[in-house]
Amino acid sequence: MDAETNFSNCAQCKLIFNSPRTLPCGEIVCQNCITIKTKSNKYKCFFCNDNHRIPKNGFPINRYAEKLVKHNLTKSSMFDRFTNQIKNIEEEIDNSNINENFAKQEINTYCSDLKLKIDLAIEEHFKLINDKREDYFKQIDQFESDCINNLESDKQPLIDFQTEVENTKKLLENEKVSNDDLRDRINRVKSIEWKVQAKKTNLKKFLLKNFDFKFYLNENADLFRLKKVSQSKINLNQYTRVLFTDLFEFTPRHCVRLNRFENGNFVFSYVDKKIKNYVLEIRSYPQIQTVLNTHSISLMSPHSYNEILTYKNKILVYESTKIKGLSKRLFIFDENLNSVKAKAVVFEVLFFAASENKIIGLADTEDRCYILDWDLNIHTIIEPNFTLFSFNRSINYIYGVEDYFFFCESNRTNMYDQDGRLIKSLDIQEPSYVDSNNIIKRTGPNELKVFNLNGNLIDNVELVNRYLSNCSFLKDKYENFVFYNDKELYVPLN
**Does 299 lie in the same domain as 172?**
no
Specify if 71 maps to a domain: no
Specify if 186 maps to a domain: yes
- For the chain, percent of residues with pLDDT exceeding 70: 92
User: Mean pLDDT across the stretch 341-358?
Assistant: 91
One-letter identity of residue 300: M
CATH of the domain at 17: 3.30.40.10
Specify if 251 maps to a domain: yes
User: Mean pLDDT across the stretch 312-327?
Assistant: 81
Domain boundary among 183, 203, 229: 229
Count of structural domains within the chain = 3
**Does 224 lie in the same domain as 249?**
no
Specify if 143 maps to a domain: yes
Specify if 70 maps to a domain: no
Lowest mean pLDDT among 189-198, 278-287, 316-325, 333-342: 316-325
CATH of the domain at 464: 2.120.10.30
User: Mean pLDDT across the stretch 136-160?
Assistant: 91
How many whole angstroms separate alpha carbon 308 and alpha carbon 332? 10
| pLDDT score of 232 | 87
**Does 316 lie in the same domain as 180?**
no
User: Mean pLDDT across the stretch 236-254?
Assistant: 79
3-state class (DSSP) for residue 357:
coil
**Does 417 lie in the same domain as 287?**
yes
| pLDDT score of 433 | 94
Specify if 73 maps to a domain: no
The one-character DSSP state at 236 is G
Q: Do residues 365 and 350 touch, judged by C-beta distance below 8 A?
A: no
Specify if 72 maps to a domain: no
- The burial class, CB within 10 Å (0-12 / 13-18 / 19+), for 104 is middle
Is pTM beyond 0.75? Reply is no
The boundaries of the domain holding residue 378 are 245-492
Domain boundary among 180, 203, 229: 229
Domain boundary among 19, 34, 61: 61
One-letter identity of residue 130: N
b/e map 366-382, b = 16+ CB within 10 Å: bebbbbbebebeeeeeb
Per 3-state DSSP, the chain is made up of helix, strand and coil in percentages (nearest 5) of 30, 35, 35
Specify if 237 maps to a domain: no
Partners of residue 354 on adjacent β-strands: 359
Comparing 103 with 482, the larger pLDDT belongs to: 482
Write the pLDDT tens digit of every residue in 440-475.
999 888 899 999 999 999 889 999 988 877 888 999
**Does 84 lie in the same domain as 45?**
no
Partners of residue 42 on adjacent β-strands: 39, 53
**Does 392 lie in the same domain as 311?**
yes
User: Mean pLDDT across the stretch 487-493?
Assistant: 86
